Amino acid sequence: MITRSPANVQIASDLASSLASSPSSPSGAPAWQRQLANVVRDPVELCRRLGLDDDALPGARDGHALFEVRVPEAYLTRIQPGDPTDPLLRQVLPLVAETDAVDGFVADPLEETDHTPRRGLIHKYAGRVLLIASPACAINCRYCFRRHFPYQENSPSRAQWQETLDYLREDTSIHEVILSGGDPLAASDRQLGWLVARLEEIPHLKRLRIHTRLPVVIPARIDEALLEWLGGSRLQKVVVLHSNHAHEIDAEVAAACARLNDAGVTLLNQSVLLRGVNDNVAALAALSERLFEAGVLPYYLHVLDPVSGAAHFDVPDEEARHLVETLRDQLPGFLMPRLVREVPGAASKTPL
């Protein structure tokens, strides 16, 4: 049964509100929320802070107009100033190439809007559903396949959240709920704690999976308040991080991963194969090694989803297969991510 006490209704309302706006940072807010409120949003500031030449500015402004810049300070400090080829910079700096229209690159490459039986709920695969728990991200990744996702149309009201929970309760074939976004951990702990408590009341749910980039880009997100609702849940907990390069995993990120591991969370990582970021064997091997040092197992290496504005990141399939075959010669099997593509309408990820 869903509890509809006044407190729960208020939190449900807060959760719904969070879907419509970026998190605020009231005084006394946790450190991670203050960092979230102070991300770099100005493409000119981004270029200046990183000592880039002025010739980067027109592209940065044009790309920003299509998908705004967002870079947290904790991520910015890992970028090598003055190096336009830095693999972390490539993921956050808009380029003029984003304005190119390229055949086959579209706004909704995974046709997700065809699989939303309830607002904010995507049901594509057997046994599991995905909830858009927050429309906000701490960082805007230039290759994001949801860069055009209609979050406003998928921001449930309070009543619609109850309908989503009813949908989950009525379909006993669903055993796993995946929190996604945006970034689900951009929602507050109060909101997420409420949602997870409601999910725990549904007996046939076994697993909670959270797909997030926040522990990588703002590792302070993994604080006591988060560990309280996550670590205390009866559901089996899996956090799938999203990291694409070994330089993203510094000591603070490794410490955040250790806190999650200590709380009984299984940690996996998924990456996207990106031209100019990790499209070589050395970078992929270093990423797997660094992940494992931090207690994280490599899970998937996705080829790029063909979203408009990101074609310059594309690596052809043949080259991707060759990279992975070469990587296999260098790594033990448990450090090998599976090379996959997400095909609209397919029953699962498609191995390449």
Residues near ligand SF4, by CB under 6 A:
137, 139-141, 144, 146, 181-183, 213, 242
Residue 312 to residue 140: CA distance in whole angstroms: 16
Q: How far is the CB of 171 from ligand SF4 (least distance, A)?
A: 26
C-alpha distances (whole Å) from 328 to each of 95, 271, 290, 304, 315 are 33, 16, 16, 20, 18
Where do we find the tokens 């990582």?
Answer: 269
**Phi and psi, residue 217, nearest 5°:** -95, -25
Q: How far is the CB of 184 from ligand SF4 (least distance, A)?
A: 10
Q: How far is the CB of 194 from ligand SF4 (least distance, A)?
A: 22
Q: How far is the CB of 153 from ligand SF4 (least distance, A)?
A: 16
Cβ proximity of 73 and 38 under 8 Å: yes
Select 118 or 147, whichever has its Cβ closest to ligand SF4.
Answer: 147
Select 93 or 281, whichever has its Cβ closest to ligand SF4.
Answer: 93
Distance, CA of 277 to chain centre: 17
Select 12 or 222, whichever has its Cβ closest to ligand SF4.
Answer: 222
315, 310, 285: which is closest to 92 by C-alpha? 310
Q: How many CA atoms lie within 13 A of 89 on its CB side?
A: 20
What lies within 8 Å, CB to CB, of 208 at 6+ separation is: 176, 177, 179, 196, 199, 233, 235, 236, 237, 238
**Strands ordered across the beta sheet of 128-134:** 121-125, 128-134, 176-181, 207-212, 236-242, 266-272, 297-302, 338-341, 350-351
The total of other beta-carbon atoms located within 10 Å of residue 115's CB is 16
Q: How far is the CB of 182 from ligand SF4 (least distance, A)?
A: 6
Select 156 or 182, whichever has its Cβ closest to ligand SF4.
Answer: 182
Select 169 or 183, whichever has its Cβ closest to ligand SF4.
Answer: 183
Select 129 or 205, whichever has its Cβ closest to ligand SF4.
Answer: 129
- Residue 352, amino acid: L
Q: How far is the CB of 239 from ligand SF4 (least distance, A)?
A: 14
Q: Residue 247, exposed/middle/buried by CB under 10 A (0-12, 13-18, 19+)?
A: middle
Select 137 or 177, whichever has its Cβ closest to ligand SF4.
Answer: 137
Q: How far is the CB of 4 from ligand SF4 (least distance, A)?
A: 31
C-alpha dihedral sign at 253, 257, 258, 259: positive
Q: How far is the CB of 129 from ligand SF4 (least distance, A)?
A: 17
Select 146 or 198, whichever has its Cβ closest to ligand SF4.
Answer: 146
